[in-house]
Amino acid sequence: MRCLRDLLQKAQQSGVAIGHFNISDLVLVRAVFAAARELNVPVLVGLSEGEREFVGTRQIAAFVRSLREEFDFPIFLNADHTHSLAKGIEAAKAGFDSIVFDLSALPIEENIRQTKQAVEALKAINPSMLVEGEIGDIGTGSEIHESSPDLSKGLSTPEEAKQFVESTGVDILAPAVGNMHGMLRSMVQGETKKRLDIERIAGIKRAARVFLTLHGGSGTDDQDLRKAIAAGINIAHINTELRVAWRDGLERGLAKQPAEVVPYKILPSAVDSVKQVVASRLRLFNGERHAAQGI
Ligand SMILES: [Zn+2]
């Protein structure tokens, strides 16, 4: 089994990105794993602090590890948006493959100082764990927002990206390049799309020379996602689109069988609904070369 760093390197050479999908229950894990296996592409599943609290940090690590081993399949586990070193250490000890250490809300000097400390502390526990740092403002909450936050002042610059990466030693950088956590209602309805600053991504890639992650990918224009990957994005995060599909599928499953109480008879509707979204995003992130296989 190749490690996550090798697979990121391979993705970079092939001009594709690894899909990252947030999970907080068995429906989501099953849907992501099934889609990735059918398309035969590596995949990252991630849990924020809130998602980990619900599922159990050590429990999800054991579950994902068991999938990886039993099916000999490259599914990796990321500790998404971790805001304290204590939570990071917990994830490192549980065996997470990577961590998003997110102090982007702090002034950049403080973000640099604490992220550098975190890189050292986490790699002392697991030298192969990849540490991602965050700069800029892309909003919070992978949910449906009624109005758009003004994120224009929080866009990342190539200079800031270079300084951050060189000072902290992070393996991966998540910049603010027009992306945003969550979706506007008009995006859920398909009336509007997020647009990315492709030139900014290319400039940051040239300056920072590390793997780049795009957070808040839900609701982004497909062509912008393709261009962003070509410009240097290596990992693309999707959460809100999955949550919307999860709810839709669950409601459909309940409505279809109003008298049913057996979870494994109701929940497959939710698995199918989420799986379709994951498969569609994985095809796009992987250059659609797997589209012919269908799902
Ligand atoms: Zn994120």
CA of 243 to the centre of ligand 1 (A): 14
Tell the residue number behind the tokens 């099953």, with chain if given.
Answer: 30
For residue 137, indicate whether it is catalytic.
Answer: no
Report CA(292)–ligand 1 centroid distance (Å). Answer: 30
Distance CA 266, CA 259 (A): 10
Residues in the chain: 295
CA 134 to ligand 1 center in whole angstroms: 9
Given the residues 6, 25, 72, 80, the one annotated as active site: 80
Q: Using CA atoms, how far apart are residues 209 and 9, in angstroms rounded to an integer?
A: 12
Contact 137, 14 (CB under 8 A): no
- DSSP string covering 76-114, please? EEEEEEE-SHHHHHHHHHHT-SEEEE--TTS-HHHHHHH
pLDDT band, residue 192 (cuts 50/70/90): very high
Q: What is the mean pLDDT of residues 117-131?
A: 98
pTM of the model: 0.96
**Structure tokens belonging to residue 151:** 């994120």
* Ligand 1 centre distance from Cα of residue 216 (Å): 5
**Radius of gyration (Cα) for the chain, nearest Å?**
18
Cβ contact 64:96 at 8 Å:
no
CA distances from 10 to 58, 136, 221 (A): 29, 27, 25
Closest by alpha carbon to 143, among 273, 26, 241? 241
Three-state DSSP state, 132: strand
Burial grade of 180 (CB within 10 A; 0-12, 13-18, 19 or more): buried
Query: Residue 142 has which token pair?
Result: 């992978």
User: How many whole angstroms from 31 Cα to the centroid of ligand 1?
Assistant: 20
Q: Is the pLDDT of residue 291 over 90?
A: no
Distance 81 CA to ligand 1 centre (A): 6
In tens, the pLDDT along 39-83 reads: 999 999 999 999 999 999 999 999 999 999 999 999 999 999 999
Ligand 1 mean position to 205 CA, how many Å?
19
- Measured between alpha carbons, how far is 178 from 172 in angstroms, rounded to an integer? 18
Rounded-to-integer distance, Cα 248 and Cα 231, Å: 34
pLDDT tier for residue 11 given thresholds of 50, 70 and 90: very high
Do residues 113 and 163 lie in contact, with contact meaning Cβ atoms separated by under 8 Å?
A: no
Of 153-157, 197-201, 287-291, where does mean pLDDT reach its minimum?
287-291
In this prediction, residue 151 has a pLDDT band, given cuts at 50, 70 and 90, of confident
Mean pLDDT (whole number) for 165-194: 95
Handedness of CA 157, 158, 164, 169 (dihedral sign): positive
Position with higher pLDDT, 146 vs 38: 38
| 15: nearest Cα among 207, 237, 217, 226 | 226
Residue 295 confidence (pLDDT) above 50? no
pLDDT for the residue 289: 57
Where residue 226 falls among pLDDT bands split at 50, 70, 90? very high
Beta bridge pairs of residue 2 = none
- What's the pLDDT band for 1 if we cut at 50, 70, 90? confident
Mean residue pLDDT across the chain: 95
Q: Distance from the CA of 38 to the center of ligand 1, in angstroms?
A: 26
277 contacts 241 by C-beta, under 8 angstroms:
yes
pLDDT at 37: 98
Task: List phi, psi (to 5°) of 16.
Answer: -120, 170
Task: Give pLDDT, residue 293.
Answer: 41
